[in-house]
Structure 1
Amino acid sequence: MKKLIAGVVLGVSLAATAYGAGDPEAGEANAAVCAGCHGENGAAPIMAVYPKLSGLGEKYLYQQLALIKSGDRPIPEMTGILDNMSDQDLQNLAAYFDGKEMTIGEADPELVEAGRSLYRGGNLASGIAACSACHSPSGKGNGPAGYPRLSGQTAEYVQKQLIAYRKGERDAGGQSQVMMDIAAKLTDTEIEAVSSYISGLH
């Protein structure tokens, strides 16, 4: 029993160490290369299908950077960019971008009601869970759990990712199976509505 308790405590300690292990000041040194696509502070991508990085959550950002570097999450536009960065560099970069302010967009007024209903309540008839269950009612995410902030993300990027999950093209990372299961049940209309709603959520 003592060994079991010790193991749980050690596991929690290691998880705590892994979360929030980055140095944002050190991360700033490597952030300049990201600005070409994601904009200053990662808050203004040059194309709406590129994600905003600001405030997404340090643990989530680090996980995604590690997946991209390893090739488990292939993104052609990111090819080679992270190759010379160490694991600590990735953690520092994640801490840097997480500390920046997320800018909020404006949802399409005609899609707000449908998007809000899906985000907050899911779709009982088709078995779709509410987005708010993991990403919080305000869209701020759950940092320690590695669930990213959604609030303010571009509608085009959210839509692209939900479609990728639905097609099984984005299948790397701890929560990917959950997202693939949910996205598989979403219609094109639902994806458009919830993506728009998220872009203006605050």
Structure 2
Amino acid sequence: MIKKQGLAIICGIAALLFGASFDASAQGNPESGQQLSTKGDGSGAPCMACHGPNGEGNAAGAFPYIAGMNEQYLYRQLRAYQTGDRKNAVMSMNIDNFDDQQLQDIAAYYASLDKPASTASNANAELLEQGESLVNIGNWDEYIPPCSSCHGPNNQGVDENFPGIAGQHASYIKQQINGWKNGDRKTDKVQLMEAVAKRLNDEQIEAVSAYLASIPAAE
């Protein structure tokens, strides 16, 4: 119980820290964002080339679905790619010429779209069962909290602070957990995800990724 209460407090502090600097962010224009997403920044590929015509992503390329995600969360990730807080050569190259308002517009456009159906893979039942337990219950003996502790009921996300991860492509979830684990992703100011990821072994990462991909992206 003490561990669970501590994790809840940490998540609350993380939410305050993540949100504090962005409360006054400008709102984006979805119509402008749609145009920008189809033509790109002038030097790279358009968003839809990797994330699909409706923001549904691509499991084979580990490109996440971004349709229906929180606008400010999307904006912050785009900014992180520009500043280097998130490292991905493809993303950085394809958005480096967008100004701040254009990033807001793109975020607003994708936030306005409907989330896709679940992206379930053909994972075996045993792996999915292990993933379900970790995602919904956690493993407190190893101080691994359930994903929903921070990502909200049914892992649908909590405002701009914790993204919805239900129904996300397993390949992308696995990639990002390993990124946190290896210290390659630095957008978590309190290192909460980094700490949790480092406690997960490879099999647990596979299980969590497979199960999250199998559940509905939207309620």
Give the TM-score of the pair, scaled to structure 1. 0.85
The CA distance in 1 between the partners of 2:66 and 2:202, in whole Å, is 25
What residue in structure 2 maps to residue 184 of structure 1?
Answer: 198
What residue in structure 2 maps to residue 22 of structure 1?
Answer: 28
Aligned equivalent of 1:148, options 149, 155, 163 = 163
Aligned equivalent of 2:107, options 94, 102, 116 = 94
RMSD: 2.1
The CA distance in 1 between the partners of 2:106 and 2:189, in whole Å, is 20
Aligned equivalent of 1:163, options 171, 178, 203 = 178
Q: What is the deviation of 1:86?
A: 1.2
Structure 1 alignment gaps of length 5 or more: 1-11
Aligned equivalent of 2:129, options 113, 117, 128 = 113
- Which deviates the most, 153-162 or 49-58? 49-58
The CA distance in 2 between the partners of 1:168 and 1:46, in whole Å, is 23
What residue in structure 1 maps to residue 147 of structure 2?
Answer: 131
Give the TM-score of the pair, scaled to structure 2. 0.79
Q: Aligned pair count?
A: 188
Q: What is the deviation of 1:50?
A: 1.4
Matched, 1:72 2:88: no
Give percent identity, aligned residues only.
Answer: 35
* Mapped contact 2:85–2:185 kept (Cα < 8 A): no
Q: Describe the superposition over 1:51-108 as per-residue Cα deviations: whole angstroms up to 9, x where unpaired.
A: 1111222121111100101222121112332122111111111111112122212252
Change (3 A) 1:46 1:34: farther
What residue in structure 2 maps to residue 4 of structure 1?
Answer: none
Q: What is the deviation of 1:110?
A: 3.0
The CA distance in 2 between the partners of 1:14 and 1:74, in whole Å, is 21
The CA distance in 2 between the partners of 1:179 and 1:14, in whole Å, is 19
Aligned equivalent of 2:50, options 37, 51, 57 = 37
The CA distance in 2 between the partners of 1:41 and 1:140, in whole Å, is 19
* Mapped contact 1:55–1:149 kept (Cα < 8 A): no
The CA distance in 1 between the partners of 2:59 and 2:132, in whole Å, is 27
> For residues 42-53 of structure 1, what are the structure 2 equivalents within 5 Å?
42-45=55-58, 47-53=60-66
Change (3 A) 1:168 1:93: same
The CA distance in 1 between the partners of 2:132 and 2:20, in whole Å, is 37
Change (3 A) 1:30 1:46: farther
Structure 2 alignment gaps of length 5 or more: 1-18, 39-45
